Amino acid sequence: MTEQDADTEQDVSPPAEIERDANPDTETAQDARSAAELPGTDDLRVAAVAAACTVGLTLLLQYGAGREVPLLWRLLPLAPYFLSLFTKRVDLGGFDTPRNWSLLTIGVTLATFLYFGVVA
pTM: 0.66
Amino acid identity, position 60: L
pLDDT (tens digit, 9 = 90+) per residue, 13-47? 555 555 555 555 555 555 555 555 666 788 899 99
pLDDT (tens digit, 9 = 90+) per residue, 46-83? 999 999 999 999 999 999 889 999 999 999 999 999 99
Residue 90 has pLDDT above 60, yes or no: yes
- Domain interval for residue 47: 40-119
What is the number of domains present in the chain? 1
User: Which 3 state secondary structure label does DSSP give 113?
Assistant: helix
Q: Is residue 1 part of a domain?
A: no
Residue 5 has pLDDT above 80, yes or no: no
Q: Is residue 80 part of a domain?
A: yes
Q: Is residue 12 part of a domain?
A: no
Q: For the beta carbon of residue 53, count every other beta carbon within 10 angstroms.
A: 24
Long-range contacts of 81-88 (CB under 8 A, 24+ apart): 81/46, 81/47, 81/49, 81/50, 81/105, 84/43, 84/46, 85/43
Q: Is residue 71 part of a domain?
A: yes
Q: Is residue 96 part of a domain?
A: yes
Whole-number pLDDT of residue 71: 93
DSSP state, 10?
Answer: S
Q: pLDDT-derived band of residue 2, with 50, 70 and 90 as boundaries?
A: low
DSSP code per residue over 31-93: HHHHHHT-TTHHHHHHHHHHHHHHHHHHHIIIIIS-----HHHHTTTHHHHHHHHHTTTS--G
- Kindly state the average pLDDT of the residues 81-90: 89
